[in-house]
Amino acid sequence: MGFRRWIVCGGALELNPDHVVPQSGTKIKGQDGGVKNLIKRRLQGDDKRKSSTQLNTAGLSVAGRYGSKESLSIPVSAAKSLDLSTDQTTVIRPVHSSILGEKYCFQVINSENNHCFGCSSAAERDRWIEDLRRAAHPNKDNCERTEYSLSLWVNEAKDLPPKKRYYCEVHLDGTLFARTSSRAVGKSVQRSSQAVDGGSGAAATGHGGGASGGCQLFWGEFFELDNLPPVNQITLHLFRDEDPKKKRHSKDDSIQHPLGSVALNLAEIKGRAYQEKWYPIVPYKPPGTSTTKDQVGPQASLRVKSKFKILKILPIERYKEFAEYITVNYVDMCSSLEPLLNVREKEELAGALVHVLQSIGKAKEFLIDLGSAEVQRLGENEALIFRENTLATKAIDEYMKLVGQKYLIDTLGDFIARLYSGGESCEVDPQKCSVSDLPINQRHLKETCADVVKRITDMQDSFPAELNEIFSSWVSDCEDRGQTDIGHRLISASLFLRFLCPATLSPSLFGLTQAYPEPNTLRTLTLTAKVIQNLANFTLFGEKEEYMFFMNEFLEQHWEPMRGFLQKVSDPDSEIAMARFDGYVDLPLRLAVLHNLLVDIIYVMKQDQIDNLHPLPSILNQITEFLGQEAQQIPVSSVHGTKPTYLPPKDLPKYSPLQMVQQLPIDSKSSQGKERQRKQVQRAFSVPSRPSRHQRQPVKRQTSKEELPTQCQDYNQDQDPCLEISSPSNAIKSKAPAAKVLWIKQNHSNEPYQKIRQEQEETSILDRHAQELGELRLGVEQVTERELEMAKRLEDFIVLTQEQNTQLQSEVQELRKLLAIREEQLASTTFRLGVIEEEREEDERKLNVAVAAVERMNVLEEQFAGLLKDVHQLYAVNADGMRKTYINT
């Protein structure tokens, strides 16, 4: 991978995205020491590149005095001589391992100098960082501060030119903070634009390298960047790695500058939740030009998942009541909250609680209580122990990562590094490998698993003593319940199911390496993890995985060593040396994280659920009042609105986190007599770095001194017997005069004949050796042909998979289109139904009016009939009266 030159600008050490060198060849006086030459050799290796930026190495003079060999970091012991109390602008932060190629480094930046120190472990680095921060700011815990952190997944890129290697760099405000590994893409795959963005059209064309179609490149690398300065811009630069076949000083502009960049919007990624999307890659525009040179496809993009957190931390006094509540009531709080949490919230809450309780000395009791509660909850369903997404499961995961990191590296670090460097194939599925390769691959898998089992059962002296105490408490509790077997299942389920086997399967997620494994390595890790998990569970492979039946004998042979290992790690009186966690946990930071998390979780609950958590919501609101008006307050009912009267127990002072001052540099000699004697931590003087690609020495061939028959017998013990070849030692010795035998009469007249016969025997032996050597060469050629054939088949499979992926993406886009059409139709139908409903209501109203009118007409008709009747009666009466009057007259 091409590296960048270190630049010191105004006391801040940064890496420019452009590969820069001094514009002129003029030497700067006093800056031509070992560090400058070292940086030039290590990070650039090319003084031909042009730039307008001058290299300033004045801040690196200390590294020149303390640096050794190819290490860019200073031994951490040199940090004792730093005077940080006079400069209030000092910044101390960790350095990602991808920058220097060395793990566990940290950086000290002030207004005058810039130093980079190397440690032997992450715990030692964290203690030194905290120690130096307290030296620079003695009253740090009693001051208000703001912490910035970035969690970033660089997953994959698409539509890149094929047959090239690429890597990404993470820049914060122009400063390089991390770098992915270099990955190669395969052959170009015809990818339609419809599969990319849902449109229609012809196949996309990549401009870089003149290849049509784009290739997909997968990194899958995670970066956790803490202790960051205030950030305004986050940028990912895509670079093409230089071709190792080209000459060192070849002028290739494509590796001098990034191919393109992606800018992340801070407003979109702020918060607790990850935001994942495809970002288009903007092509790089060289300075002084008006156009861009497209070296990536027109639809090139990068898939990134990220979140950026800004956390305001109050003085530790503000968290006193909250910390005391957590110390005493963590069991009740967890039991009340767990039914209301989803999986992600359980994971975050468990992690925050583990760090807080570890800082105040209650983490072991917390995990012991959770393990006992898990056994009591599951009852007879012991097979489900630590297999569900519970707070107990997530807490033990986080705790083992916290205290067991060094043990994990000591146990599996070399094994993972060997597999990543290129190991033998362990594919044992007959459907995925040829019949001829199956016996060899089975032997490779057995050897690989045997190596891992030996590393685990030999038990490194870095095994965490805290885990031993937790495991022994679990076993003792289960024995008291009469469930001894469940105690050992608890240990195997936590140590193997939740720690060792996941670390074997995904080493990049556990800090063992950064890069995602290649397919062949990933398959080996998967099969190895399966075998180790079955071994820890004391179960054999069944019918679901018939191709693993041959490993059942291996499992039975290693059951006793595994039982012995589980017994040792759970024995409270074990005499084996163990290590205690010597890292540092920032208590105010962790309390702020826990407070912020609980507020977000409880804020969205129903009021009756919030009231059941009393007095926790009121305690959280008291802290929130100091965070400003924009901070959200948990709604508390009037019954619990007043400040709760909190009566701490009598023995609370010995649990109070404010009375437990963490002493960072602890001397192992001052430990109590009951504690195990620990080895003195040895400061690392330097961390050896990998030599530059151009400085690697060619590998010398070594000739084997072993005899050929022994090699054949050792190599093929389980196969058919090889040809018996007589040892050439007698023939070689026959060149010297033979010793005289007293009872055999010497015939000196036959000396020429004997010499001829001797030469014929030597010639015959050499011929046989030559024939066997030819057979071996033929076998090597056949193996090489098979490897090439397998590589071709793998390449064809990858191409087929990519084509199928393209087809599936096309089908998904079609389904999305169809879904959109159906949604439009549904919306139209819904609208029409609304209109019809309105018309029906109007008609019903009119009908009611008509019915009322009919009823009114009926009433009027009845009244009219009554009036007619009255008129007729009046008419009859008048007629009678008129007739009588007429008669009388």
**pLDDT tens by residue, 368-419:** 988 888 888 777 676 677 778 888 889 999 999 999 988 999 999 999 999 9
Spatial contact of 593 and 326, defined as CB atoms under 8 Å apart: no
Residue type, 10: G
Distance CA 500, CA 505 (A): 9
Query: What's the pLDDT band for 91 if we cut at 50, 70, 90?
Result: confident
- The residue whose two tokens read 């020429």 is 752
Query: In the prediction, which pLDDT does 80 show?
Result: 61
Q: Is the backbone of residue 361 left (phi > 0), alpha (psi -120 to 50) or beta?
A: left
pLDDT higher at 828 or 180: 180
- Give the mean pLDDT of the chain: 75
Query: Please, which residues have CB within 8 angstroms of residue 360's CB and are 6 or more apart in sequence?
Result: 323, 327, 587, 655, 656, 657, 660
Assigned token pair, 548: 């693993």
The per-type count for the chain, helices as H runs and strands as E runs, is: 25, 16
Rounded CA-CA distance 152/141 in Å is: 28
Q: Is the pLDDT of residue 629 over 90?
A: no
What is the average per-residue pLDDT within 35-44?
A: 37
Q: How confident is the model at residue 729 (pLDDT cuts 50, 70, 90)?
A: very low
Q: Vertex 854, ends 849 and 856: CA angle to 5°?
A: 95
Q: Which of 21-30, 140-149, 809-818 has the lowest mean pLDDT?
A: 21-30
Greatest mean pLDDT among 97-111, 154-168, 520-534 lies in 520-534
What is the DSSP pairing of strand 105-109 with strand 91-95? antiparallel
Task: State the pLDDT confidence band at 649, using cuts at 50, 70 and 90.
Answer: low
Between residues 672 and 173, the one the model is more confident about: 173
The CA-to-CA distance between both ends of the chain, in Å, stands at 145
Look up residue 555 and give its two tokens: 């499992």
Phi then psi for residue 8, to 5 deg, are -105, 110
One-letter identity of residue 135: A
Cα 161 from Cα 2, distance rounded (Å): 18
Q: Which tops the pLDDT comparison, 461 or 643?
A: 461
Mean pLDDT over 865-887 rounds to: 87
Quick check: 802 and 189 in contact, CB under 8 A? yes
Task: Work out the pLDDT band at 253, boundaries 50, 70, 90.
Answer: low
720 band by pLDDT with thresholds 50, 70 and 90: very low
pLDDT at position 749: 47
The CA distance from 66 to 684, in Å, is 12
pLDDT band at 596 (very low <50, low <70, confident <90, very high): very high
Distance CA 809, CA 786 (A): 34
User: Which pLDDT value is given to residue 400?
Assistant: 92
Q: Which residue has the tokens 């029906």?
A: 840
The CA distance from 484 to 475, in Å, is 7
Q: List Cβ neighbours of 220 (8 Å cut-off, separation of 6 or more).
A: 153, 154, 155, 156, 508, 516
Q: How far apart are CA 115 and CA 107, in angstroms?
A: 6
Side chain identity at residue 200, one-letter code: S
Contact 204/159 with Cβ under 8 angstroms? yes
CA–CA gap between residue 680 and residue 120 (Å, rounded): 13
Strands, DSSP E only, in 563-647? none
pLDDT given for residue 846 in this prediction: 87
CA dist list (Å): 729 to 725, 733, 735, 765: 12, 6, 11, 11
> In terms of pLDDT, which residue wins out, 134 or 590?
590
- pLDDT(353) > 70: yes
H/E segment holding residue 486: helix 484-492
How far apart, in whole angstroms, are the C-alpha atoms of residue 522 and residue 528?
10
- What distance in Å separates the CA atoms of residue 667 and residue 679, rounded to the nearest whole number? 10
Most confident range, picked from 84-88, 584-588, 649-653, 751-755: 584-588
**Is the bond preceding 665 in cis, omega lying within 30 degrees of 0?**
no
Compute the average pLDDT of residues 221-238.
91
Sign of CA dihedral 744, 745, 746, 752: negative
Compute the average pLDDT of residues 797-824: 85
Backbone φ and ψ for 428, nearest 5 degrees, come out as -120, 5
Distance CA 582, CA 664 (A): 8
Q: Are 325 and 177 in contact (CB under 8 A)?
A: no
Contact (Cβ atoms closer than 8 angstroms) between residue 128 and residue 119: yes
User: How far, rounded to the nearest angstrom, does the alpha carbon of residue 416 sit from its chain's CA centroid?
Assistant: 15
Is the peptide bond preceding residue 615 cis, with omega within 30 degrees of 0?
A: yes
CA 105 to chain centroid, in Å, comes to 19
pLDDT bin (cut points 50, 70, 90) of residue 298 is confident
Between CA 726 and CA 724 the distance in angstroms is: 6
Alpha-carbon distance 283 to 638, whole Å?
A: 59
Identity at 235, one-letter amino acid code: T
Nearest CA to 807 among 306, 292, 192, 247?
Answer: 192
- Whole-number pLDDT of residue 723: 39
Task: List the structure tokens of 573.
Answer: 């009186």
CA dihedral 718, 720, 721, 722 (to 10 degrees): -110
For the four alpha carbons of 404, 409, 412 and 416, in that order, the dihedral sign comes to positive
pLDDT at 709 over 50: no
| More confident of the two residues 444 and 772 | 444
Residue 493's φ and ψ, nearest 5 degrees, are -70, -35
**Segment 620-635 mean pLDDT:** 90
What CA–CA distances, in Å, run from 290 to 22, 286, 748? 25, 8, 98
Structure tokens given for 448? 């690989």
Residue 644's contacts (CB-CB under 8 Å, 6 or more residues apart) are: 614, 615, 618, 619
Which of 580, 657, 511 has its CA nearest to residue 94?
A: 511
Tokens of 692: 């530059």
Report how far residue 485's alpha carbon sits from residue 470's, in angstroms, rounded to the nearest whole number: 16
Whether 532 and 501 have beta carbons less than 8 Å apart is answered as yes
According to the model, what pLDDT value does residue 134 have? Answer: 84
Q: Which residue reads 């009042």 in tokens?
A: 625
Measured between alpha carbons, how far is 195 from 807 in angstroms, rounded to an integer?
Answer: 8
pLDDT band at 733 (very low <50, low <70, confident <90, very high): very low
pLDDT on residue 644: 52
High-pLDDT (> 90) share of the chain, %: 24
